[in-house]
């Protein structure tokens, strides 16, 4: 078998969930294109046997496909060289069933990643596991998270320079967030960078040069909190990591601070709800930017950072594009951490503007939550203008394709009681559709002009990832189970297919051993948005599912549970 020695993907493969270090989710394959996508049909399917939210990307390397399920995180290898892609092996890590009780937003897993003949993934109960891609044999496993402190792991690892980078989840459980580097050969811990606490724990040293004044100073991870609150302050690392080999920097976001009730944590709450640039060798921080200082609405900073080069005032600059939960699209110089522009891509009334001089958002005073008061018409809602669902970038159209929701909420905050291993939130929310009445959209964003190029509105929030291809196509799935291909240039829907369950996964494409281009996606409704179906919630209670019951009470009429891989090709 030909397993290549890289952590990025060759033209025909899809080796890591975001496909490349830059997190573009763009494939150079163009056999399937805007002209012929209409005749796309199913080539095979595979039932995983599990019924929770299937958020992971199928991985394709060396004629094999690897897919991972939500808890209990079963890893399957399928043989793409044989008709019908029979199973080669399955690996069952058997995580603790109790971990399901500390997974805030369904028991999802966002993917397995491939590097140098090995597969790496996290289990819900806080383990990182390495498996031999050929045999399915376990190579090593390490226990990093503790469910009794509310820690779980759901993110997809990224392998950079023989280091497996993994982070924890649990921002709703008063967890202290971290990113950890493990030796890809042995699993030995090389470094750990916390998101709160003293500089030595955060790996902030002499090389730390944040662009903005408010991020400079000693031990801000302690002093920007009430005494001791940083120890249960969130800042978990459950989203995406990107890597720039030229600058030798990794980029990743940190989650919301805990608890949601902001009155319990006066201060900026460093280093939550922002983005870190770090040296992957030492873990040392180079810069940090906080999207949401003293976060008010559960606006995590964990969304993807897509590394691109775009002209700024006529000069090409190396930037990262970050569509944040707060509804703003940030263009940031990825060498310095300077915000070049920040403009809303959805309806936002919680932040009036972002001051590019100080880097700070101007919060709308009328929307600030207070104990003893119900604050209404908060837009975007706690899930943000966009949540974890990753966008895709096409270097051909120079547009960022953002799958997202259009929801607002009413909120009442209450004193949260910290009990380790139980939710630490202190807020009741009731969500509803934003202006226009549609609950989701796929927005093509032009980062040079800071404007919407085109937009497709959807009845339900778009909770799947996006895929862009050189065939001028963009693929995405809907919460009620439609899988769609649209023209990357104008958003015209060219093809659609109704899957057996809602789609919250990440579509990918590859050229199979048969020489044909294929498109693959997992269907299986769930995640925070689909919990109404996956968790059998009773929607008479608007606060069920942390507020999602009121946002999508009708979802059970449109789709039901599932867990199926769909693979498509041209007839």
Partner 1 sequence: MCSRSSEPRERATAALLSPYRAGVASVVVVMLLLCACEREERQFSAQGGSSPSAASMAPASITLSDLQPGVSTQARRGERELEVNAFSISEGQRLYEWFNCNGCHANGGGAIGPALMDDVWIYGSAPANIYATIVQGRPNGMPSFRGRIPEQQVWQIVAYVRSLSGQARKDAMPSRTDSMQVKPRQVALPREEPKSSAPPSGNQP
Count residues binding partner 1 (CB under 8 A): 42
Distance, CA of 138 to CA of 123 (rounded, Å) = 14
Which residues, 6+ apart, have CB-to-CB distance to 26 below 8 Å?
19, 20, 392, 393, 394, 395, 468, 469, 470
Q: Does 29 bind partner 1 (CB under 8 A)?
A: no
Annotated catalytic residue 256:
yes
Is residue 557 part of the contact set for partner 1 (CB under 8 A)?
A: no
Kindly state whether residue 430 participates in binding partner 1, applying the rule CB under 8 A.
Answer: yes
Interface with partner 1 includes 478 (CB under 8 A)? no
Q: For the CB of residue 414, give the shortest distance to partner 1 in the complex, in Å.
A: 7
Q: Which residues contact 200 (CB under 8 A, 6 or more apart)?
A: none
Candidate list 13, 20, 295, 412; residue touching partner 1; CB under 8 A? 412
Return the DSSP state at 390.
Answer: P
130: Cα separation from own chain's centroid:
21
The rounded distance, in Å, linking the Cα atoms of 106 and 534 is: 8
State the minimum distance, in angstroms, from the CB of residue 412 to partner 1: 4
**Would the CA dihedral through 59, 65, 71, 74 be positive or negative?**
negative
Contact string (CB under 8 A) for partner 1, positions 506-545, x = contact: -------------------------x--xxxxxxxxxxxx
Min CB(224)–partner 1 separation in Å: 25
Strand partners, 75: 68, 91
In angstroms, the CA 285 to CA 39 distance is 49
- Establish whether 480 is a catalytic residue: no
User: Residue 4 or residue 539: which is nearer to partner 1 going by CB?
Assistant: 539
Supply the minimum distance, in Å, between the C-beta of residue 523 and partner 1. Answer: 15
- For partner 1, the binding residues in 431-470 under the rule CB under 8 A are none
CA distance 72 to 107: 8
54 binds partner 1 (CB under 8 A): no
Q: Which is nearer to partner 1, 324 or 411 (CB)?
A: 411
Report whether 166 contacts 122 (CB < 8 A): yes
SS3 493: strand
State the Cα–Cα distance between residues 109 and 56, nearest whole angstrom: 6
497 DSSP assignment = E
Task: Provide the minimum distance between the beta carbon of 26 and partner 1 in the complex, in angstroms, as a whole number.
Answer: 35
d(CA 7, CA 328): 30
Q: How far is the CB of 489 from partner 1 (least distance, A)?
A: 41
Residues contacting 35, CB < 8 A, separation 6+? none
Query: 106, 151, 172, 458: which is the annotated catalytic residue?
Result: 172
Which is nearer to partner 1, 96 or 223 (by Cβ)?
96
Instruction: Please state the closest distance from residue 82 (CB atom) to partner 1, in A.
Output: 31
Residue selected from 549, 551, 552, 565 as contacting partner 1 according to rule CB under 8 A = 549
Judged by CB under 8 A, does residue 125 bind partner 1? Answer: no
103 binding partner 1? (CB under 8 A): yes
**What's the rounded Cα separation, in Å, for the pair 62 and 80?**
9
Our finding on whether 253 is near partner 1 (CB under 8 A) is: no
495 binds partner 1 (CB under 8 A): no
298 is catalytic: yes
Nearer to partner 1 (CB atom), residue 61 or residue 551: 551
Cβ–Cβ < 8 Å for 339, 356:
yes
Q: Is 171 in the site for partner 1 (CB under 8 A)?
A: no
Give the range of 137-145, 158-166, 421-429, 441-449 binding partner 1 by CB under 8 A. 421-429
E strands, 161-210, where? 163-167, 178-183, 189-194
364 binds partner 1 (CB under 8 A): no
Q: How many residues does the chain have?
A: 571
Residue whose CB is less far from partner 1, 55 or 338:
55
CA–CA separation, 498 and 482 (whole Å): 5
Residue 198: partners with Cβ closer than 8 Å, 6 or more residues away: 219, 221, 222
Q: Does 172 bind partner 1 (CB under 8 A)?
A: yes
Q: Which of 19, 25, 52, 54 binds partner 1 (CB under 8 A)?
A: 52
Q: Give the active site residues.
A: 172, 256, 298
Task: List contacts with partner 1 (CB under 8 A).
Answer: 51-52, 97-104, 172, 374, 410-412, 414, 417, 419, 421-425, 428, 430, 531, 534-546, 549-550, 561
């Amino acid at each position: 078998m030909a397993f290549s020695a890289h952590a990025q993907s060759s033209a025909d493969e899809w080796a890591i969930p975001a496909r490349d270090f830059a997190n573009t989710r763009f494939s150079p394959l163009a056999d399937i294109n805007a002209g012929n996508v209409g005749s796309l049909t199913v080539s095979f399917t595979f039932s995983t046997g599990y019924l929770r939210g299937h958020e992971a990307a199928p991985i394709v390397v060396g004629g094999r496909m690897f897919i991972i399920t939500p808890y209990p995180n079963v890893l399957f290898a399928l043989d793409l060289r044989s008709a019908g892609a029979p199973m080669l092996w399955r690996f069952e890590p058997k995580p603790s069933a109790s971990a399901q009780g500390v997974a805030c937003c369904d028991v999802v897993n966002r993917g397995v990643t491939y590097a140098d003949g090995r597969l790496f993934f996290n289990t819900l109960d806080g383990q990182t596991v390495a498996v031999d891609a050929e045999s399915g044999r376990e190579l090593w496993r390490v226990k990093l998270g503790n469910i009794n402190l509310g820690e779980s792991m759901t993110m997809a690892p990224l392998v950079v320079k023989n280091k497996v980078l993994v982070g924890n989840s649990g921002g709703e459980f008063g967890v202290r967030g971290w990113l950890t580097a493990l030796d890809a050969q042995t699993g030995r811990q090389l470094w750990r960078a916390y998101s709160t606490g003293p500089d030595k724990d955060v790996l902030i040293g002499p090389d730390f040069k944040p662009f903005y004044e408010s991020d400079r100073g000693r031990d801000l991870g302690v002093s920007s909190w009430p005494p001791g609150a940083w120890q249960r302050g969130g800042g978990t690392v459950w989203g995406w990591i990107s890597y720039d080999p030229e600058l030798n920097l990794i980029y990743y976001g940190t989650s919301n601070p805990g608890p949601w009730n902001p009155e319990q944590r006066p201060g900026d709450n460093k280093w939550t709800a922002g983005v870190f640039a770090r040296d992957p060798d030492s873990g040392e921080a180079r810069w940090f930017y906080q999207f949401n200082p003293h976060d008010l609405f559960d606006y995590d900073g964990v969304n993807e950072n897509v590394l691109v080069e775009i002209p700024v005032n006529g000069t090409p600059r190396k930037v990262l594009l970050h569509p944040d939960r707060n509804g703003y699209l940030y263009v940031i110089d990825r060498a310095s951490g300077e915000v070049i522009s920040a403009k809303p891509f959805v309806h936002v009334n919680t932040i009036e503007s972002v001051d590019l001089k100080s880097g700070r958002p101007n919060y709308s005073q009328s929307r600030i939550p207070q104990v003893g008061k119900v604050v209404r018409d908060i837009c975007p809602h706690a899930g943000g203008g966009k949540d974890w669902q990753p966008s895709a970038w096409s270097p051909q159209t120079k547009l960022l394709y953002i799958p997202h929701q259009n929801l607002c909420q009413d909120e009442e905050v209450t004193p949260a009681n910290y009990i380790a291993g139980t939710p630490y939130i202190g807020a009741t929310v009731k969500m509803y559709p934003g202006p226009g009445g549609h609950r989701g959209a796929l927005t093509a964003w032009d980062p040079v002009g800071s404007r919407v190029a085109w937009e497709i509105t959807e009845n339900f929030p778009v909770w799947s990832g996006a895929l862009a291809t050189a065939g001028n196509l963009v693929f995405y799935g809907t919460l009620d189970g439609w899988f769609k291909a649209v023209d990357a240039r104008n958003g015209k829907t060219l093809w659609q297919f109704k899957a057996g369950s809602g789609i919250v996964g990440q579509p990918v494409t590859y050229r199979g051993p048969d020489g044909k281009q294929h498109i693959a996606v997992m269907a299986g409704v769930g995640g925070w948005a689909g919990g109404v179906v996956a968790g059998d919630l009773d929607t008479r209670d608007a606060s069920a599912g942390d507020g999602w019951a009121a946002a999508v009470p009708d979802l059970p009429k449109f789709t039901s549970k599932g867990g199926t891989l769909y693979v498509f090709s041209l007839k």
